[in-house]
Amino acid sequence: MRIVIDGMGGDNAPEEIVKGAADASKLIDHEICIVGRASQIEAELEKNGYAGNNIKVVNADDVITMEDSPVKAIRRKTDSSMVVGLTMVKEGKGDVFISGGNTGALVVGARMILGRIEGIDRPVLASIYPCLGGKPSLLVDAGASSEAKAHNLLEYGLMGSIYMEKVWGREKPKVGLVNLGVEESKGTSVTKDAYKKLHAAPLNFVGNVEARDIPVGVCEVIVCDGFVGNVILKLSEGLAWNILKLVKNQFMVNTRTKLAGLMVKPQLSSLKDEFDYAEYGGAPVLGVSGPVIKIHGSSNSVAVKNAIIKSIPYSQEKVVDIIKKSMLDLEEIIEKDEEE
Amino acid sequence: MRIVIDGMGGDNAPEEIVKGAADASKLIDHEICIVGRASQIEAELEKNGYAGNNIKVVNADDVITMEDSPVKAIRRKTDSSMVVGLTMVKEGKGDVFISGGNTGALVVGARMILGRIEGIDRPVLASIYPCLGGKPSLLVDAGASSEAKAHNLLEYGLMGSIYMEKVWGREKPKVGLVNLGVEESKGTSVTKDAYKKLHAAPLNFVGNVEARDIPVGVCEVIVCDGFVGNVILKLSEGLAWNILKLVKNQFMVNTRTKLAGLMVKPQLSSLKDEFDYAEYGGAPVLGVSGPVIKIHGSSNSVAVKNAIIKSIPYSQEKVVDIIKKSMLDLEEIIEKDEEE
């Protein structure tokens, strides 16, 4: 297979992208294709002492920036690394596209260039959510759309479940709906309706979940609208980071605590890794007709390398095809929703 | 003043309620009136060796349970400790009411018995949010209503600001709107509209805030709908608790880490206190014509004592009257909303 990566997307592009690709190329047999300003990318490859033959460079002169308006940028910047990369997947010249660029543009571009999967009302960004002392979950929607209807939440649950099964090897992933309480009767009219639909779908739906149980992995697919998803991701990040900082400060109080800090240093470092998003291989865009992965704009080469590795099962396990097929089974449930 | 407390509300009633009241009575000059089954409450007072004369017991034979439907319970259980206590405030026989009972029933009861403040569309529950290494903030809505219109969010900001100023002594409290990003253009149609209204109101509105900055006190009044508020409170609780558990586990790995744990024990204990909701004196119900405080169902005597102490400025600083007056200034902004 051929993995296409946006050489110009993100704060550390092209340096960290190229380094990550070079590191990944030593671990995998597949071809990696870096799209972007060829001269810059080739210079970086040289800097990294790359001498292999499974990295190719495809030139694209333009770059979509963080300030660009998504729809306009996709329409007008036809020679940007993002548009060129997505088009390669569309035309079968690539099997998956990875980018650390403008999130809105990537989701819009994936929808406009690759197209939605038939039956999917709204493609969505899903993010790996690191659980404390356990395996990570997937959060859908990670912030692509701030509002959602009941049938959107059903789609999120279905696509997330397939992704976790095929890419993360989870058997019958537990799907949970974020709500005010675990009882079926809780929440808004949208969550009540979504509960019924998720319950009726061929999923391992564990019902409503409360936010307090999310960090310990009460479910493997966390379903919510993008506003709530954004709050969950950012609050977890802010809180975890600041608590660890506070813990660290407690070791700086006096000589005795400083000594204690030295004694427990390896253990505390392993704790920090729990929250390291770079370890998880990026966020899939689900619901479009091709595998697309968003990585953090601030991704370092480790995050790039991990995303490249995780992109292989996303493409090879035919996640997109399985979502397409599963949507046929769901048609009836979704139609019921629209009649109501 | 006379502080009225529900002797039967919560998991540890009447034991912890009575103990907390007895402890508080030693610190304050005001009368505390415990409402509930008189024989049980008097037995507890005796058990605590109470010999003062500023605690009175008012008998109420019935109890509203956690399973009761709020509206029905308030209408039918007219001899319950909650209805009797709220009615005392209504009739001027009490100056504030505190309860650890059924939250829904307390909010509904406050609205039905005390009445809404004129101009307030929706009374709300506000919760103190402990910030890391700093002073706590107030979160409004803490889960009373899952959805909110723009003018509800404006009301939340106004009432929260007055409460923090008068009860917590904050000067011009910073009011922030929870949103997907800090830019004015971010979010749903509701948050965009709420932004404009909060901006136009006589408040120290600091604009949109992102969830990652909430734990470090980016604003002193956190404005959001009840669904998002519930997620913020429960996720923070679950995450903080589990991270500290994980930190603790790191000290149990081997003899060296156990020794380190002993050396840093006082510092880690002080960290735990940061997240102790019992220290903060309960959650005010805002927007009704009388001061009402909700305490956790699981409150111990310390939480009860603190709520009693915090109820004094809530009543004496005339928070309810100030909200009433401020609503007149807001009328124009709110009317604009309804025309749209």
Is A234–B242 a contact, with Cβ atoms under 8 angstroms apart? no
Judging contacts by C-beta atoms under 8 Å, the chain A residues touching residue B231 are: 178, 211, 228, 231-232, 235
Is A271–B247 a contact, with Cβ atoms under 8 angstroms apart? yes
- State what percent of residues in chain A have pLDDT above 90: 74
Distance (Å) from the alpha carbon of B300 to chain A's nearest alpha carbon: 21
Residue of higher predicted confidence among B4 and A243: B4
Mean pLDDT over each residue of chain A, to the nearest integer: 91
Nearest CB among B133, B187, B212 relative to A235 is that of B212
Please report the pLDDT score of residue B278 as a whole number: 60
Is B188–A146 a contact, with Cβ atoms under 8 angstroms apart? yes
Cβ atoms of A119 and A330 within 8 Å: the answer is yes
The pLDDT-based confidence of B332 (bands split at 50, 70, 90) is low
Nearest CA in chain A to B209: A231
Return residues 99-138 of A near B (CB < 8 Å).
132-133
The pLDDT-based confidence of A88 (bands split at 50, 70, 90) is very high
Mean pLDDT of A207-228: 96
Cβ atoms of B35 and B62 within 8 Å: the answer is no
Query: Of the ranges A258-262, A282-286, A294-298, B333-337, which one carries the lowest mean pLDDT score?
Result: B333-337
CA distance A333 to A202: 11
Give residue-wise pLDDT tens across range B75-95: 999 999 999 999 999 999 999
The answer to whether B66 contacts chain A (CB < 8 Å) is: no
Distance (Å) from the alpha carbon of B67 to chain A's nearest alpha carbon: 13
Judging contacts by C-beta atoms under 8 Å, the chain A residues touching residue B217 are: none
Q: Is the pLDDT confidence value at A99 over 60?
A: yes
The pLDDT-based confidence of B70 (bands split at 50, 70, 90) is very high
The pLDDT-based confidence of A62 (bands split at 50, 70, 90) is very high
Structure tokens at A112: 């406009």
Cβ atoms of B206 and B174 within 8 Å: the answer is yes
Helix (H, G, I), strand (E, B) or coil at B326: helix
The answer to whether B230 contacts chain A (CB < 8 Å) is: yes
The answer to whether A79 contacts chain B (CB < 8 Å) is: no
CA dihedral A232, A238, A244, A246 (to 10 degrees): -130
The b/e string for B97-109 (b: 16+ C-beta within 10 A; e otherwise) is: bbbbbbbbbbbbb
Nearest CB among A226, A246, A260 relative to B132 is that of A246
The pLDDT-based confidence of B340 (bands split at 50, 70, 90) is very low
Q: Is the pLDDT confidence value at B333 over 70?
A: no
The pLDDT-based confidence of A281 (bands split at 50, 70, 90) is confident
The pLDDT-based confidence of A340 (bands split at 50, 70, 90) is very low
Mean pLDDT of A293-315: 94
ipTM of the modeled complex: 0.89
Mean pLDDT over each residue of chain B, to the nearest integer: 91
Cβ atoms of A25 and A50 within 8 Å: the answer is yes
Residue of higher predicted confidence among A256 and B58: B58
Structure tokens at B242: 């589990």
Q: Is the pLDDT confidence value at A253 over 70?
A: yes
Edge-first strand listing for the sheet containing B221-223: B55-59, B31-36, B2-6, B96-99, B292-294, B283-286, B124-129, B137-140, B221-223, B174-178, B204-209
CA distance A249 to B7: 42
Q: Which of A178, A227, A237 to mutate to test the interface with B (most CBs of B within 10 A)?
A: A227
Q: Which of B239, B246, B251, B270 to mutate to test the interface with A (most CBs of A within 10 A)?
A: B239
Judging contacts by C-beta atoms under 8 Å, the chain A residues touching residue B213 are: 238
Please report the pLDDT score of residue A241 as a whole number: 84
Q: Is the pLDDT confidence value at A338 over 60?
A: no
Judging contacts by C-beta atoms under 8 Å, the chain A residues touching residue B234 are: 210-212
Q: Which residues pair with B207 in a beta bridge?
A: B176
Cβ atoms of B143 and A179 within 8 Å: the answer is no
Please report the pLDDT score of residue B275 as a whole number: 65
Full DSSP string of B106-147: HHHHIIIII-BPTT-S--EEEEEEPPTTS--EEEE-SSS-S-
Nearest CB among B226, B243, B261 relative to A132 is that of B243
Mean pLDDT of A281-287: 92
Is A263–B259 a contact, with Cβ atoms under 8 angstroms apart? yes
Nearest CB among A147, A188, A247 relative to B146 is that of A188
Nearest CB among A211, A227, A231 relative to B238 is that of A211
Please report the pLDDT score of residue B318 as a whole number: 95
Cβ atoms of A126 and A142 within 8 Å: the answer is yes
Please report the pLDDT score of residue B276 as a whole number: 65
Is A235–B235 a contact, with Cβ atoms under 8 angstroms apart? yes
Residue of higher predicted confidence among A143 and B63: B63
